[in-house]
């Protein structure tokens, strides 16, 4: 088993280039979005502070929203304007940073500030960042990713504050420009009217990728990026993945899913000792790819991961039902906690976890149960291969416990 680490792969040249965090040199078929974004920010970049830019990205999973935002960030970070001021970029994922306070902490850290963990109010934190920007003659562009989550918390109050930052700081200079990334238009419309109206003008749409576009993206990962040996893949295999996932051929048009299938297929071929990926590997890989991305799960808190693991196990055991009552889930959760030597959280916290996971679209939760002993909430997992999920979660939980921390960032 340990030998594997030293035997060079016949399939992968550089596997890190298939990971969801990796930003490729070129983002294919996203010129339009990138241009629109640059257009919106042009006045801010030319004369920093002159206008308050707020841009909204909307599009389903794996359509390149995060990639475009980060790529733009790479380009603008450190840019020096004519007046000598410097543009800085910050990136916040709202699944990892779920309150305004925590969002501002991440922004502060990205600016290189020594941010206090506690003892400050969120307003003080905002002033601290503002003072830094002012003093250092810096202007900030911040991408706030996975905003759908924020929109569902307290009527989007945190989001409201963000869209009004200049008024709150009382500054006439617009030191911050914002990119808000939404997955669903629905959560955008659930927002307060006044937030909607400040945001609705600068919306950039991300459409699911077509089969041909996905084939281009996959090939670029192989040829331009060198993630796999060219000899390990064929037109046949790439086209097969592109067709399975292409929006125009009935798939979700999700580039992350396509890259994951390619990676998994490569692993299967490798495991069989082959140097070429075959269509059969693609079929097997496709059946195992999770519709929810690994990074969404990686961002969960330790207790949420434990709860999700409990749910995955329960549903595997109860093969004939698709959802389980929350009371049963709580019992299983306590057992899972015991197994990993973690103190289980109390009943009310378990409820909060379910609500959060529901909000993130990971679990389903509905109240039902006619009559018998009142109504209770049933929790289910939509369309995720349970074994795969269980395996992934155990790895993540073990890693988190080893690090001694709950959450990955």
Ligand X SMILES: Nc1ncnc2c1ncn2[C@@H]1O[C@H](COP(=O)(O)OP(=O)(O)OP(=O)(O)O)[C@@H](O)[C@H]1O
Residue 296 buriedness (CB in 10 A; 0-12 / 13-18 / 19+): middle
Q: Is 312 in the site for ligand X (CB under 6 A)?
A: no
Cβ pair 284, 265 in contact under 8 A: yes
Query: Three-class SS of residue 331?
Result: helix
Q: Interface residues for ligand X in 78-117 (CB under 6 A)?
A: none
Contact partner at residue 17 from ligand X, Mg ion, none, CB < 5 to 8 Å by partner kind:
none
Q: Is 24 an interacting residue with respect to ligand X (CB under 6 A)?
A: yes
The token duo for 172 is 């006439």
- Nearest approach, Cβ of residue 94 and Mg ion (Å): 11
Residues 6+ apart with CB under 8 A from 231: 275, 276
8 Å CB contact between 270 and 11? yes
255 binds, among Mg ion, ligand X, none (CB under 5 to 8 A by kind): ligand X
Rule CB under 6 A: choose which of 37, 53, 58, 67 binds ligand X: 67
Minimal distance in Å, beta carbon 63 to ligand X? 4
Q: Is 283 exposed, middle or buried (0-12, 13-18, 19+ CB in 10 A)?
A: middle
Q: How far is the CB of 277 from ligand X (least distance, A)?
A: 19
Is residue 29 at the binding interface for ligand X, with CB under 6 A as the rule?
yes
Q: How far, in Å, CA of 125 to CA of 147, rounded?
A: 20
How near is the Cβ of 163 to ligand X at its closest, in Å? 21
Give the one residue of 11, 12, 27, 55 binding ligand X; rule: CB under 6 A: 27
List the single partner that 361 binds among Mg ion, ligand X, none, CB under 5 to 8 Å by kind: none
- Kindly determine how many residues on this chain lie close enough to bind ligand X according to the rule CB under 6 A: 22
Q: Which range in 9-17, 59-67, 235-243, 358-366 contacts ligand X by CB under 6 A?
A: 59-67
82 exposure class (CB count in 10 Å sphere: 0-12, 13-18, 19+) = exposed
Q: Where are the beta strands (DSSP E) in 175-275?
A: 176-182, 203-205
Q: How far is CA 373 from the centre of its chain?
A: 39
Which of the stretches 58-66, 111-119, 314-322, 393-401 binds ligand X when contact is defined by CB under 6 A? Answer: 58-66
Contacts with Mg ion, residue ranges (CB under 5 A): 66
Return residues touching ligand X (CB under 6 A): 20, 23-24, 27-30, 59, 61-67, 183, 206, 217, 255-256, 259, 293
């Amino acid at each position: 088993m340990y030998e594997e680490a030293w035997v060079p792969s016949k399939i992968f040249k550089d596997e890190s280039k298939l990971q969801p965090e990796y930003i490729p040199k070129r983002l294919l078929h996203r010129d339009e979005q990138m241009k629109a974004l640059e257009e919106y920010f042009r006045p801010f970049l030319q004369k920093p502070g002159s206008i308050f830019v707020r841009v909204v990205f909307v599009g389903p999973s794996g359509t390149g929203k995060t990639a475009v935002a980060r790529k733009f960030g790479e380009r603008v970070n450190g840019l020096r304007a004519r007046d000598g001021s410097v543009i800085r970029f910050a990136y916040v994922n709202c699944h990892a940073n779920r309150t305004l306070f925590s969002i501002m902490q991440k922004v502060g850290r990205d600016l290189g500030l020594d941010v206090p963990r506690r003892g400050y109010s969120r307003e003080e934190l905002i002033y601290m960042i503002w003072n830094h920007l002012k003093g250092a003659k810096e202007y900030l562009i911040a991408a706030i990713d996975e905003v759908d989550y924020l929109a569902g918390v307290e009527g989007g109050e945190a989001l409201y504050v963000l869209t009004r930052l200049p008024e709150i700081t009382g500054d006439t200079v617009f030191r911050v420009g914002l990119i808000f990334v939404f997955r669903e238009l629905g959560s955008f419309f659930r927002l307060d009217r006044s937030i909607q109206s400040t945001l609705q003008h600068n919306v950039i749409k991300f459409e699911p990728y077509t089969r041909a576009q996905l084939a281009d993206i996959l090939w670029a990962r192989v040829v331009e990026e060198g993630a796999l040996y060219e000899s390990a893949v064929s037109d046949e295999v790439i086209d097969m993945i592109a067709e399975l996932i292409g929006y125009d051929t009935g798939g979700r048009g999700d580039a992350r899913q396509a890259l994951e299938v390619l990676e998994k297929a490569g692993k299967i071929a490798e495991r069989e000792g082959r140097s070429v990926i075959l269509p059969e590997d693609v079929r097997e890989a496709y059946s195992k790819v999770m519709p929810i991305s690994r990074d969404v799960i990686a961002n969960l808190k330790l207790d949420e991961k434990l709860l999700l693991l409990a749910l995955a196990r329960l549903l595997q055991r109860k093969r004939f039902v698709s959802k389980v009552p929350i009371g049963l889930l709580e019992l299983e959760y306590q057992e899972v906690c015991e197994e990993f030597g973690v103190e289980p959280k109390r009943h009310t916290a378990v409820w909060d976890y379910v609500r959060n996971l529901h909000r993130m679209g990971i679990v389903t939760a509905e109240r039902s149960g006619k009559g018998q002993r009142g109504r209770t909430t049933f929790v289910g997992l939509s369309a995720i291969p349970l074994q795969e999920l269980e395996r992934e979660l155990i790895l993540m939980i073990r890693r988190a416990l080893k690090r001694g921390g709950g959450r990955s960032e």
